[in-house]
Chain A
Amino acid sequence: MSSGRPQVTGNINSFNSIINFVTEIDAEGCQIMKWLSLLEPQQRHQGVRIDRLDGVGNWVLETNEFRKWCDGKDDCVEPLFCCGDPGVGKTYLR
């Protein structure tokens, strides 16, 4: 019994130090994230994902232009510009 006790304490200590270590990194990490940008595009993306209608606009993904842009192995692939009037569904392309 008595030989087990210090071992347990030791574990708790190391556990605490790990927790502290992680929190310190996280606190600075949060500051860094805010310093980089206050924008949260991931949040907007969640909204888009929820409102998207499955299948609509998928033909764009099948075009040669998109496939070449996406799967081409070479460097220096030119940008794609999907252009269209408001409301045609550009934002919701999957």
Chain B
Amino acid sequence: MSRLRLLAGRDITSGAEDFTEHVRRLGAQPAAGPALIETIVRSGLTGRGGASFPVGLKWKSVAAHSHGSAVVVVNGAEGEPHSKKDRMLMTTRPHLILDGAFLAAHSVRARQVVLYIGEEHEAARNAMLRALAERRPNERKITRVLGAPPRYVAGDSSAVVHLVNAGIATPMTTPPSPHERGVEGGPTLVQNVESLAHAALIARHGDAWYRSAGRRGAAGTLLVTVAGGVSGPGVHEIEAGTTVAEAVEMAGGVTEPARAVLIGGYFGSWVPAEHAWDLPLDSAMLRERGLSIGCGVVGILHHSSCVVCETAGIMRYLAAESSAQCGPCFFGLRALADACSRVAERGTNPDDMHRLHRWAIDVRGRGACHHPDGAVTFLQSALKSFPDDFAHHPAHWRGQGRQTPAGRAQGAHLDE
């Protein structure tokens, strides 16, 4: 990869870049304010937390509602099991993230910055805390650190707000959404760490610079986590528009012939490998094709694995991660996961196939947050991309409902 931006600087295996190095390499903290917001809008930077919402528009909206009561939440929860990019960024480039956070805080007139870091991401947390200690007093004074519970929905914006306000990381009903009324009633900007890091660089080099990277008409760079059947799984910074095949090459290539690619993580979509290789990894270009970049996970599944079984395993995980606040999500996802598992373990039957299609439609859009929607999108992509596998599945179980030491099912064995 020729143009590293987020990961430019010292080698990522050699630890965090400290403040002195950061300033020496990139210069002093640039200016913040409405002009910066406009620059970010022009850059076309989209969020890296999964929803790909335009970052500049988000800052603009929060600034518009803010009367000095806004709050910036730096979202480093990274609850997606196979995603490692946020952890990696926090561990190696904490000052980029902090720059972005304080630039955002200044631009939206926030009085508080919350660093929301996954409880189990110890190295990341330590790196961010050390970096925070190196910052100026006026920045440290307005910042606090909060641990994100290691559950999938803990990264949801409204769940973060609920945790800060009431101590419990469960999603809330919207409206009002966090950018209107969030932490302590003030408009809250919840932004993924990678998004903030990009913003910090755009603030220094401008929107034209950001757009100068990218392939096939896409703009900017992004972090992807290549997981599963490749020889060098891990996080890579790629130019937007890089194809799946190119990204897989960067990760050492496949170790066995690939059957399917999971694009976007557990809320993403399965794509048959032969159709996936040429897909450009860019949020807009994927959306045109009915797909989503999500949190940037690209998972490779071998022919020796079974798509149906893997899907069942992931559905079981997602069902178990429901916050159990909404009936359709909790019962619906469980029923879908059970039906999927029956097909996986005991073989196809028309009743379960009918149920999978019917319940998926029933469940979509009927939760307070997007958890059921993401799960259903994932399931429907499996049904659509591999209809024959589902229609003729024999009775075997080649998936894994592996338990982590904490006792939680991890879903798919993509990382092997």
User: Do A and B originate from a single complex?
Assistant: no
**Which residues of B are interface residues toward A (Cβ below 8 A)?**
none
